[in-house]
Amino acid sequence: MNNFDFYNPTRIAFGEGKIAALDTLVPANANVLILFGGESARRTGTLTEVEAALGDRRVQLFGGIEPNPSFETLMEAVSVVQRDGIDYLLAVGGGSVIDGTKFVAAASLFEGDAWNILLKGGSNIHRALPFGSVLTLPATGSEMNKGAVVTRKSLHAKLPFHSEHVFPQFSVLDPTKSYTLPPRQVANGVVDAFVHIVEQYLTYPADAPVQDRFAEGLLQTLIEIGPQALAEPEHYQVRANLMWVATLALNGLIGSGVPQDWATHMLGHELTALHGLDHAQTLAIVLPTMLAERKEAKRDKLVQYAQRVWAINEGSDEQKADLAIEKTRDFFEGLGVKTRLADYQLAAEHIEPLIDSLEAHGMTALGEHNDVTPEVCRRVLHASL
């Protein structure tokens, strides 16, 4: 195990009916801005329930935060915060709304051009407004971590930032709030959580049996409940477990003390930035070919993944690894998330601009060994056609 620091002060209120706890979780004298995405938050009654729980606090709404939240939209929210003396933010939605709220929390108190937050990856954040979240979409883990990704549409740039100042103070996880999600978002959420785990697990052995077993337990659970979550949208226990898995997939725990990869994510971000694919779609395209491309360096963990997660006990190590990668692809396809560039009308001619963009963002030495160069990414994309 490597040395590590772990810190995660987000309070989790988990279960049906927990939105009522907002009354104790949000300060009584807060001047609240509720941030949300599309109209579904209103249509499903979640916004009404949230507003009722907040009682007679001053509350106003800011809707329209997009999937892959944009700098442009978020800066409008910052203007509202500064204009109206907002002192508490409440994200109601999925990872995009929570990521966006993290940015608004930091940008509202940031001196200078807030785009610099992204250019510095958040290292220049020294304070942020306090905020909480009401999660409606199990997927990104943003509800219990200090990271976020923001897209600047005008620059075709999608960049991450991290800061301890943007941990949510609390997150309400009510699985019933996910019942009305479209199947595509549920499937995306399963893929997103799955790949988050893989990025922290499937590297090389590091004498970390607990982190390995936790990651494997999360992956096994996703494999069990992913299809169920689509087949039975109102199965409480399935949605509850999906929500808790997605949160634990990226709250810092399973990644503590072990090497991490994240090359699939970084390459995937370029696909979203240039072509607007859903984040999970990009991961489903890139991961299988990325694993195949780096099979030698990842051999030990690929074999362990094959045996423990997919119960593949026959064949050579090479065969186990290959079959595990195949099963991973089949799992994504089985959820309805396509895994080939061609499925999204992308072809060989789209590859070089993606590589150019990766290089422009400085992503030239990715992965746990810093050896995933643009050339490696080019091969991965060609193999993903």
Binding span for a copy of itself by CB under 8 A among 3-11, 48-56, 85-93, 186-194: 3-11
Binding span for a copy of itself by CB under 8 A among 26-34, 65-73, 251-259, 355-363: 251-259
Judged by CB under 8 A, which of 134, 240, 285, 287 binds a copy of itself?
Answer: 240
In the complex, minimum distance from the CB of residue 17 to a copy of itself, in angstroms, rounded to a whole number? 7
Residue given tokens 């999600």 in the structure block:
181
Q: What is the sign, positive or negative, of the torsion defined by CA atoms of 227, 229, 232, 237?
A: positive
Helix (H, G, I), strand (E, B) or coil at 151: strand
Q: For a copy of itself, give the closer residue by CB, 1 or 342.
A: 1
Burial class from Cβ neighbours inside 10 Å (0-12, 13-18, 19+) for residue 64 reads middle
Q: For a copy of itself, give the closer residue by CB, 103 or 310.
A: 310
Q: List the structure tokens of 249.
A: 């997939």
Q: For a copy of itself, give the closer residue by CB, 115 or 244.
A: 244
Task: Report, in angstroms and rounded to the nearest whole number, the Rg of the chain calculated over CA atoms.
Answer: 20
Q: What angle do CA 126, 132, 136 make, to 5 degrees?
A: 130
In the complex, minimum distance from the CB of residue 9 to a copy of itself, in angstroms, rounded to a whole number? 4
In this structure, what are the phi and psi dihedrals at residue 8, rounded to the nearest 5 degrees? Answer: -155, 95
Judged by CB under 8 A, which of 130, 160, 217, 227 binds a copy of itself?
Answer: 217
In the complex, minimum distance from the CB of residue 221 to a copy of itself, in angstroms, rounded to a whole number? 5
In this structure, what are the phi and psi dihedrals at residue 92, rounded to the nearest 5 degrees? Answer: -125, 105
List, as own/partner pairs, every contact residues 56-61 make where C-beta atoms lie below 8 angstroms and the sequence separation is at least 24, other chains included.
57/26, 57/28, 57/29, 57/30, 57/31, 57/32, 58/30, 58/31, 58/32, 59/32, 59/33, 59/34, 60/32, 60/33, 60/34, 60/84, 60/86, 61/33, 61/34, 61/36
Judged by CB under 8 A, which of 227, 257, 336, 374 binds a copy of itself?
Answer: 257
Q: For a copy of itself, give the closer residue by CB, 224 or 234.
A: 224
17-76 residues near a copy of itself, rule: CB under 8 A: 17-18
Binding span for a copy of itself by CB under 8 A among 45-53, 94-102, 241-249, 320-328: 241-249
Closest by CA position to 233, among listed 176, 174, 194, 172: 176
Residue 204 touching a copy of itself (CB under 8 A):
no
Query: CA-to-CA distance for 381 and 274, rounded, in angstroms?
Result: 14
Count of positions on this chain that bind a copy of itself (CB under 8 A): 41
Residue 6 touching a copy of itself (CB under 8 A):
yes
Residue 232 touching a copy of itself (CB under 8 A):
no
Judged by CB under 8 A, which of 31, 44, 180, 220 binds a copy of itself?
Answer: 220
Q: For a copy of itself, give the closer residue by CB, 224 or 371.
A: 224
Judged by CB under 8 A, which of 148, 166, 248, 303 binds a copy of itself?
Answer: 248
Burial class from Cβ neighbours inside 10 Å (0-12, 13-18, 19+) for residue 55 reads exposed
Residue 166's alpha-carbon distances to 82, 106, 123, 192, 348, in angstroms, are 18, 7, 12, 21, 39
Residue 260 touching a copy of itself (CB under 8 A):
no
Query: CA-to-CA distance for 372 and 8, rounded, in angstroms?
Result: 30
Residue 13 touching a copy of itself (CB under 8 A):
yes
Residue 7 touching a copy of itself (CB under 8 A):
yes
Q: Are 201 and 253 in contact (CB under 8 A)?
A: no
Q: For a copy of itself, give the closer residue by CB, 32 or 253.
A: 253
The separation between the first and the last C-alpha atoms of the chain, rounded to the nearest angstrom, is 37
Q: Are 134 and 97 in contact (CB under 8 A)?
A: no
Residue 12 touching a copy of itself (CB under 8 A):
yes
Residue 3 touching a copy of itself (CB under 8 A):
yes
Q: For a copy of itself, give the closer residue by CB, 174 or 270.
A: 174
**Residues near a copy of itself, by CB under 8 A:** 1-18, 207-210, 212-214, 216-218, 220-221, 224-225, 237, 240-241, 244-245, 248, 253, 256-257
